[in-house]
Chains A and B, each alone.
Chain A
Amino acid sequence: MKALALLRRLGLPMIIGGFIVLFWIVVALTIDLWSPYDPFSIVGRRLRPPSDVHWLGTDGLGRDVLVRTLYGVRHSLPIALVVVLVSSLGGAMLGAIAGYLGGKTDSVIMRLVDITLSFPAILLAMAVTAALGPGLGNAAVAMVVVSWPVYARLMRAQVLTMREREHVEAAVAAGAGRVRVLTRHILPLCWSPVLVNATMDLGQIVLLAASLSFIGLGALPPTPEWGQMIAEGAVNFYQWWVALGPGLAILSVVLGFNFLGDGLRDLLDPRSAQ
């Protein structure tokens, strides 16, 4: 009964989202143990439609699409995690500093935020990746560059609100140092919007990474990366199954994180629930 009550509190979207994300995490960790084929080897005739041997058919080289799709999560999830972790921590830290110190520091950081945000994300990401040279690693750097400002903005707004709270003023009056006030009394109260945004961002980064790979700036062949696989599917346009697996994979991961983020927001901020 207790478990049921907990599930009810979490809500259906969060359960579905959690289930999807959990599924992909398990796949990423265990696929080596049970995968029937190697993602790189040619296991059949090329461009065969789905059959009972190759459930999602074979691609232009004769590799199994389903296996490659499942292996793809090993590129997408870690990259998204690292990018979101670095940009949320870094961005939040800069935002906190800007909000807490104010003055010149604040205006310099926020100017940078404004300028970065005035680029459509993909254009800036493409420009950065192009400048650094194609590859998943450089694409990850580019994605950090485009995604940190949102966190800086969120965190700054939070810190500005919290700074006015009485307990903070009390701590200052009691003689606590600046760093201590910020880390002990302000930051612990500021995390929930950052957390919600980071969860939603995980999906968006998976999408952006796939987009960059699709364009040819991210993962390079023969990596089984979803965007890269869809690009191969676009070449074999009439063999619809080549792009089906990776497309559904991206969709499910993005939906999963969106659901999770939505549910998390309702949990952390009861006002927005109703």
Chain B
Amino acid sequence: MTAPLLEVRGLEVAFPSPAGRLAALRGVDFHVAAGEVLGLVGESGSGKSLTMLSIMGLLAPNVEVSGSVRLDGEELLGRTEAAMRRYRGRRIAMIFQDPMTALNPVIPIGDQIVEAIRIHQPGLSRRSARERAVELLSQVAIPDPRARAGQYPFEFSGGMRQRAMIAMALANDPELLIADEPTTALDVTIQAQVIEVMERLRRDRGIGLILITHDLGLVAGVADRVAIMYAGRVVEQAATAEVFYRPRHPYTRRLLASLPRFDDDVDRLATIDGVPPSPARRPPGCAFAPRCLDAVDRCAQDDPLPRRIGASAVACHRAEELPA
């Protein structure tokens, strides 16, 4: 394997609070290669979005971030705001969950794309940037892109908005695309279009893609590798097939069990009881232990760190003994 495009190591994020420092991310490790799709999966509050924001350097200044985030070998953490601005939107681009709220409602779509282009290519004329914006819109299959560029977000349908968002993210040919729940706010039929567009990008341009989602089903079809997050840590990470056919962490297994299948009766659908612990009231041992059906005494005391088991990295004391 060549050097990864993005390598995240021991990423920790902590918020100051009246009750003391709250650790929201507790050592997150993963990597993405060019042309690879990594699915970052977890419930809300597991730290997926925080991970993304800290990669982009978009967290508030009073948030403590440590560890290492390397893009093509260059360290991004600890850079100044001005230095980070040269990365954002140019080498790493982002797609948000709800394109309705992530597009500025009072600026025409075309102008928003033009802005994204000209921030990083100030020398480019307004007219050429405009041409480029229209071309980008047509690449994401927006019909009649020239006319559409002059329209406002509210004049677009949901699926078109998200594709426009993707067009904007592609404005400067980024190497890495981070998509935060890009299909959650969309209808099922439109989800497929958006996924199709992202799939093509990866294939044609060799863009590395981090797909953040709580939907394991989505990941199964698109991702090369999967990282499962729970309570601010990656608890299992492996190739997609490995995770689906040989899940090693009890949490992963429970997630898989909760997926609806075609041959399932509706009432057999399993859910996971309880909610993930907030940073303020995390138990001393394994964060999943209180909800874990396989937990033993040790799990309540020792916090398991991720270790290699076969082709996977798993953070569970009992990963080997439990049947895969």
Whether A and B touch directly in their complex, counting CB atoms under 8 A apart, is answered as no
B residues adjacent to A (C-beta < 8 A): none
